[in-house]
Structure 1
Amino acid sequence: MITRRLFAGGLASASFLALTSPARALPETACPAVRRMYLDSAFGQLHLRVATPDNSAGAAPPLVLLHQTALSGRMFDQFLPVMATDRIVIAVDTPGYGESDRPAERPTLAGYGDAMLDALVGKFGPKLDVLGYHTGAAIAADLASRRAEVDRVVLVSMPYFDETRRTDLLAQVGRPLSAEGEYSEDGSHLVSMWKGSFGSRADGQSLDDVARLVAEKQRAGIYGGWALHSALENDLAPTLSAIEEPVLVIAPHDGLQEQSRAAAALIPGAKIEELPEVAYGLFDAIPDRLAETVRAFLSR
């Protein structure tokens, strides 16, 4: 069952399912307000969360945040305003996730990225920095290898797998979609989803946080594995080797730590930041520290 496997632990060893959103109040210091907007894209309306500094004149290039499957830009709620003190920061809902329209057919990895970047450059361009997390990191890496509009790149928990592992993971997400068998009439599939989220929660995460997380996972329904499927179809080694822009790879102590290290080794001149003290939910658990690290890299 795709829904159960994706959202209840089937890919937990790859860190795709360790989705966390621990409770944390925003910092006491003044942060830009986050506003919502929609842009037209190749796949319909694209939903954004945007934080703009009080004085954005002469600010650094905008930073685009690309989320993990099968969540949305909501996963950056704590990080977004903290990061936006000296630049515009945009959290995008990947087409088919959150509040962005779903494509009629599953896009390729490049298709997802191009649809988002084309819309964003039209509004915020001509140069954008990009940060991607998990599936979002795969999209960010692909864009950096092909698109001149991408300036600097941050890859967090990079899903870089060899062919054997990709084949194994694709077997779990690559079969035809059907609502029949994906859901149980008594709702027991939600119990598996709950247990997967509750079991990987970060310190301080409340039951309400877990409930919101499980609700977010359900938004894409039986299409929730699409972006992950598109990422796994690609051998990312040539993509990573082709990146010429400055790259920072952040490797928290999660199920993709070794994969992140391997990816960094393939990218010419890439820098790597190890976070051994934090695993999942880092954008909620340490947004201030993470913003400091990312800002220092982007400002070089």
Structure 2
Amino acid sequence: MIRRRYVDGRYGQVHLRENQPDGQVPLVCLHATAYSSRSFSALLTALNGRRHAIALDTPGYGESDTPPAPVTIADHAAAIAEVLPPRCDLFGYHTGVSIAAEIAILVPERVGRLTFMGVPHFQALDFDHWRTRLTARHALGETLDQFEERWDFLVRGRPAGLSLRRGFENFVDELKGWPNGWWAHEALFAHDLPARLALVTQPVTILNPPGHLAEPSRQAAALMRDAQVIELPDLAGAALDVHAGALATLVTR
């Protein structure tokens, strides 16, 4: 069973999803922008009885309260570190990778192992193109057509195997951050991830399904002291939803 609760943080309340505690050091999961902890619901379910796991909503996303102004990745890391268990492992996906790396640097004595997927090493791609695309600003208007592009991308154009319901939930998560959903992406592109990865001392496993971040993820592994890449060529698409069982096995190992 997945339970939901809130804890107090520096920017207000932080929303968590959690499977059944089992006495182990918990695995804390950090989501991509502009989604929420709901991205990890299938994984938390697949891990139930095998590994205690917690997924939280980054401040400003999902059901967590929003900071009064845009904050940096380091600010996110510090805020999240304040609500973490005394010891934990971390699973970062996309923006969650950058935040997890910062937490590991900030409080190394509290973080064990790291699992990354979709490392946002955009320095290995067309950085300016991706920054322009992902940090586009929006103004809240009175007509529905302002949301049409996101509906087309998240619902009509959802990956193969992802249910209509999950595509809709991703759309709703993006709307919850509207019109400030770009804040965390702007922080992501202002964050010198390659330099910060070199400071991570914990062992890191990079789960590497196909996609535009597959090669950047391989290059990111070479920047770290103790990182291994597990190639997952058969886990294309919405891996956290469609292949949660396979990912749970890998995470447990």
| TM-score, scaled relative to structure 2 | 0.92
| Residue 98 (structure 2) aligned to one of 138, 151, 167 | 138
Superposed counterparts of 1:1-150, under 5 Å: 33-53=1-21, 56=22, 59-120=23-84, 124-125=85-86, 127-148=87-108, 149-150=110-111
**Counterpart secondary structure, 2:236:** coil
Structure-1 residue corresponding to 2:195: 238
1:216 aligns with 2:173: yes
- Alignment CA distance shift 1:110-1:178 (3 Å): same
Q: 1:93 is matched by which residue type in structure 2?
A: D
Q: 2:159 is matched by which residue type in structure 1?
A: A
Q: 2: CA distance between counterparts of 1:225 and 1:135?
A: 12
Q: 2: CA distance between counterparts of 1:273 and 1:163?
A: 19
1:265 aligns with 2:226: no
Unaligned runs of 5+ in 1: 1-32
Unaligned runs of 5+ in 2: none
| Residue 145 (structure 2) aligned to one of 153, 177, 188 | 188
Q: 2:7 is matched by which residue type in structure 1?
A: L
How far residue 51 of structure 1 moved from its aligned partner, in angstroms, is 1.0
- Alignment CA distance shift 1:163-1:254 (3 Å): closer
8 Å contact kept, 2:125–2:216? no
Instruction: State, as a whole percentage, how many aligned pairs show the same letter.
Output: 34
Q: C-alpha offsets along residues 128-164 of structure 1, whole Å, 9 cap, x if unaligned?
A: 1000101111111222233221111011000012288
Superposition CA RMSD, Å = 2.0
- Alignment CA distance shift 1:172-1:202 (3 Å): closer
1:276 aligns with 2:244: no
Q: C-alpha offsets along residues 13-53 of structure 1, whole Å, 9 cap, x if unaligned?
A: xxxxxxxxxxxxxxxxxxxx111111111111000011124
Structure-2 residue corresponding to 1:9: none
- Alignment CA distance shift 1:272-1:200 (3 Å): farther
When structure 1 is superposed on structure 2, of 163-172 and 210-219 the one drifting more is 163-172
8 Å contact kept, 1:166–1:233? no
Structure-2 residue corresponding to 1:18: none
Q: 2: CA distance between counterparts of 1:171 and 1:195?
A: 19
Q: 2:94 is matched by which residue type in structure 1?
A: H
- Alignment CA distance shift 1:210-1:131 (3 Å): same
Q: C-alpha offsets along residues 170-226 of structure 1, whole Å, 9 cap, x if unaligned?
A: 345557x562xx54x442232211211235423333333322221221110011011
**Counterpart secondary structure, 1:222:** coil
Q: 2: CA distance between counterparts of 1:64 and 1:84?
A: 14
Q: 2: CA distance between counterparts of 1:164 and 1:236?
A: 13
Q: 1:220 is matched by which residue type in structure 2?
A: G
- Alignment CA distance shift 1:162-1:206 (3 Å): closer
Q: Which structure's CA Rg is the greater one?
A: 1
1:254 aligns with 2:211: yes
Q: 2: CA distance between counterparts of 1:229 and 1:154?
A: 23
Structure-2 residue corresponding to 1:15: none
Q: 2: CA distance between counterparts of 1:277 and 1:163?
A: 23
**Counterpart secondary structure, 1:219:** helix
How far residue 258 of structure 1 moved from its aligned partner, in angstroms, is 0.9
When structure 1 is superposed on structure 2, of 72-81 and 92-101 the one drifting more is 72-81
